[in-house]
Amino acid sequence: MKKAKFTLRASIAALGTVAMIGLAGQASANDEIIKRSQNPDMWAAPGGDLAMTRHSALKDIDTKNVKNLHMAWSQSTGALRGHEGQPVVVEHNGKPMMYFVSAWPNIVQALDLSNPDKPAQVWNYQKKTDRDMSAVPRACCDTVNRGLNYADGKVIFHTLDGLLIALDATTGEEVWVTKHAYPDKGETHTGPAMVAENLVIAGFGGDEFAARGRMVAYDIKTGKEVWTCHSTGSDKDVCLTPDTNKDNPHYGTYGHDLGMITYPRDEWIIGGGAPWAWFTYDPDLKIVYAGTGNPGHWSPAYRCGEEGENLTHEKCNEYNPKINSGNWDNKWSMTIMARKVDTGEVVWAYQKTPFDQWDYDGVNENILVDNLVVDGKKHKALVNFDRNGFAYVMDRTNGDLLRAHKFVTVDWAEKVDLVTGRPLKVKEHSPFERGRNVATCPSAQGGKDQQPASVDPSEPNIFYVPTNNWCMEDEPQERTHTQQGTVYVFANVYMYQEKPGVSGKLKKFDVVTGKTLWEIADSYQNWSGTLNTAGGLVFYGSMGGDFRAVDRKSGKVVWERKLGSGIIGNPISWKVDGKQYVGVFSGLGGWAGLPVTADLDFSDKYGAIGATAMAKAAKLNLIPQGGEFTAFRVYP
């Protein structure tokens, strides 16, 4: 067999990294990831790199030859549904290897890509002992998994029921197993975790089960806990310091225990704020960026401390720009957290949706770009397309808010005030009183849910964004319990298409100007992330199972293939033996697909917190299940 070529095309910067790694005792696990991410033949981390750009510098597949892209191989994941992640492709022991993990029950596979058109499974692993089946009904929403990491000779992944596991990448044997999340407390782990320095940093989900969010860092060698920082509670619990938000004190500062006093009574103990999705890392600043989720249940009057017969909506929110006290912001839910990697201490924290009333979870990916010019000045920037419909641009060194543009239809807020950082909310679209039905755009699934956008670092203002295009009616209900681990929503939610026949769009969006440069509408939701390549293409998939390539310049679909199930995974690209490949998971699921995968009653328009009506309108019941990874390459 012809020996596979897995060429390292290192830049001068990469060579500097290699030299640093050569210093005995000086290398860290993310030095490896940086080195690999500078080799376009690999896919080094869940987002391709630590900044989560989801960009491939490969250009063998381009707008001219993409018509000759055909399936090369496919591999079953061993699970039916819920594949929101992607594999990693790395060089291990001199061989090109692909590692991936399925959705529940979280089966890991190691594929040797030396024969790139016919990969060979080297080992597989499934944890059979000490599993907690109660995680399955407690997973909000669906039994999904967003991928694993490779570093320090280990494959590091998580299970839905809260185990964090490191496997020997050569043999698949356990190196360490740590219990991280506890389903009986409402905690389930859909991930992924992040490797930064010599730490594995993880969160979990569970806001709809009264969990209390936290981030935990573990030693990559041993799996031992290094630090823990919560999303709610005292300044000490949250890991605030006197220097937190020093350049933006209006975001909230140390010394006030805002994570407690902005909730009534002891509501912060079950206050949500779980960081359940994507993390990014700046190795120069040594800061980890993560978003936190909603503040627990969806009946917001219980999270406001104004009491008595004269309780008014205005006392619990800031509809008039002059009334902006933020007494009941429910800190630090819905917040971008910038934490020091070695201690977890908060450098800065910006709450996007204070006193949330819509479940606009703030966990979407924080993409890092350099040299982004805003108002004539270059910034080390962070870009976040939030569920609430605003695209935020921030200086990631100190949290300065530079831009906040609407990227979908938004009516719950007029705008975000760039001076105060607060949204100017619209009372008519804010559900508050129990039993009052309120219409709002976007829906709780957001202008974009967790499905990640992508950017070419050479064009740091241009992003390729999969969007949801739904609105909702939301009616808060009476709260019946405060028990952790039990469904904790207390709202009737009905979701509907903003425009009949259009469920999702792919957009090319300028985050500085706020302009949509082109868009592609789809009758199915776009719950897949995007991949952009130096070949001038953007790859993405629809929940109908259509895997597509789009010309980045024109927005024209130049290639598509129908896969066996709906696509909610994220495309990747790699190169072995002189051939560029693209691949993606299929396997319907996620919140939008849950009514199908859980076989819910489609006549219940409130099922799955509004997703059943959505699935019925989009005809997702006609999409089969089945988890699979499919790889494509160009054939002459």
Active site residues: 208, 294, 359
Question: Can you tell me the distance from the alpha carbon of 178 to that of 163, in angstroms, rounded to the nearest whole number?
Answer: 6
Cβ atoms of residues 143 and 103 within 8 Å: yes
Single-letter amino acid code for the residue at 97: M
Tokens representing residue 394 in the block: 């921030």
What residues does 369 pair with on adjacent strands?
Answer: 381
- DSSP structure class, residue 434: T
Q: How many residues does the chain have?
A: 636
> Quick check: bond before 332 cis, omega within 30?
yes
φ and ψ at 458, to 5 degrees?
A: -75, -15
First to last CA, the chain: 21
Tokens of residue 57, six digits: 């510098």
Contacts of 610 (CB under 8 A, 6+ apart): 443, 444, 445, 472, 493, 494, 495
For 557: left if phi > 0, alpha if psi spans -120 to 50, otherwise beta; the answer is beta
Token pair belonging to 612 = 């059943």
Between strands 454-455 and 462-468, the pairing is antiparallel
Q: How far apart are CA 378 and CA 283, in angstroms?
A: 19
- Rounded (to 5) percent helix, strand, coil in the chain: 15, 35, 55
What secondary structure, in 3-state letters, does 478-514 show? CCCCCCCCCCCCCEEEEEEECECCECEEEEEEECCCC
Tokens for 259, please give them. 């994570």
DSSP letter (8 states) at residue 186: T
Q: Is 475 helix (H, G, I), strand (E, B) or coil?
A: strand
Question: Running DSSP on this structure, what letter comes out for residue 78?
Answer: S
E strands along 77-173, which residues? 88-92, 95-101, 108-112, 120-125, 149-151, 154-158, 163-168
Q: Which residues, 6+ apart, have CB-to-CB distance to 149 below 8 Å? A: 45, 46, 88, 155, 156, 157, 192, 193, 194, 195, 200
Q: Region of 130 please: left (phi>0), alpha (psi -120 to 50) or beta.
A: left
Bridge partners, 18 (sequence order) = none
Amino acid in the structure at residue 480: T
DSSP conformation class of 4: P
537-541 vs 531-533, strand pairing mode: antiparallel
Residue type at 67 in one-letter notation: K
Task: Please list the residues that pair with 505 across neighbouring strands.
Answer: 467, 521
User: β-strand 531-533 against 55-56: which pairing, if any?
Assistant: parallel
What separation in angstroms does the CA of 392 have from each of 106, 287, 401, 418, 514? 34, 18, 7, 10, 10
